[in-house]
Amino acid sequence: MARATPPDLNASALPLRALARSYPRGLFIEPHQHEWGQLLYAMSGIMWVETPHEALVVPPQRGVWLPPGVAHGIRVVSELEMRNIYLSPELAQSLKTDVQVFEVRPLLRELILALVEQERQQEAPYYRALVELGVLELRRARRSRLRVPLPDGNDRRLLQLCQAVMANPSLATSFDQHAQGTGASVRTLARLLQRELGMGFAEWRRQVQLAIAAAALIEGRAVNRIAHELGYQPASFSEMFRRELGVTPSEYRAHGPD
């Protein structure tokens, strides 16, 4: 586990702060929160952003908007190049008040990169213009549905099960095997899943698999490789994907996600 180390936001006279970060595969940044709003942008790599009620998978060229005060942890699925943008509480009021995953289109991408660069130079008029245009683009960004419900955390055993599946969603690992590390029986965990999330283990794991698969398709991985990593034969994986999302994996990649 690692702890988040943001810049000293309270000491800043600027309404927006920006920085670049690189994280290795497998790193977990434990849950934390900020008084400022935060934009997490994945330039490359995939991460899970875990909030109190859901987990959001973030592939390349996607971002997450976290309003001020939202607790969140980050689980790095593949080597990650991330850009962080922090917005003061006053500036954050002009954006959504709920957590959002969105598409980062070319103009917004260049604005994010320019804001990171201007963090060091701070040419005031140009910087203010970047901030204003960046906020306008964030308001217009296309939203994503790559999210999975999470339990509220009151029962640590269920949350541990969910985190284990997110780290290893393959069909090769059974419900019984995941349950062994939680200290609870399969029957107890099945009851907790129904009570907390309204679904069984197979359905919930399938949502995790679909989110991971969609992110991997955006990242450019081959369908056969994704199927193998999730424990499917390619044909059965493509059928499951089409049944759940209404398009084949290849169609999803060709015609745009979400």
Per-position DSSP letters for 239-255, written without gaps between them: HHHHHHHSS-HHHHHHH
Instruction: Dump pLDDT digits (tens) for 199-227.
Output: 999 999 999 999 999 999 988 899 999 99
Where in the chain are the domains? 9-140, 151-255
Q: What is the pLDDT of residue 239?
A: 95
CATH of segment(s) 9-140: 2.60.120.280
Average pLDDT over residues 4-29: 82
pLDDT level of residue 84 (50, 70, 90 thresholds): very high
Calculate the CA 59 to chain-centre distance: 7
Calculate the CA 94 to chain-centre distance: 22
**Which residue type sits at 233?**
Q
pLDDT level of residue 60 (50, 70, 90 thresholds): confident
pLDDT level of residue 41 (50, 70, 90 thresholds): very high
Tokens of 133: 């245009």
Helix spans in the chain (H) = 89-92, 106-121, 124-140, 156-167, 175-180, 186-197, 201-219, 223-229, 234-245, 249-255
CA distance 80 to 47: 7
Helix, strand or coil, per DSSP, at residue 185: coil
CA distance 252 to 103: 15
Q: What is the pLDDT of residue 248?
A: 93
CA distance 175 to 7: 41
- Is the pLDDT reported for residue 241 higher than 90? yes
Place of tokens 């180390």: 5
- Is the pLDDT reported for residue 74 higher than 70? yes
Q: Which of 147, 172, 134 is nearest to 39 (CA)?
A: 134
Tokens of 130: 């970047």
CA distance 226 to 213: 6
- Is the pLDDT reported for residue 258 higher than 60? no
- Is the pLDDT reported for residue 122 higher than 70? no
**Which residue type sits at 191?**
R
CA distance 59 to 252: 14
Name the CATH superfamily housing domain 151-255. Homeodomain-like (1.10.10.60)
Please name the residues in contact with 197: beta carbons below 8 A apart, sequence gap of 6 or more: 149, 150, 151, 204
Q: How far is CA 26 from CA 6, 41, 249, in A?
A: 20, 18, 26
Average pLDDT over residues 56-83: 92
Average pLDDT over residues 59-67: 91
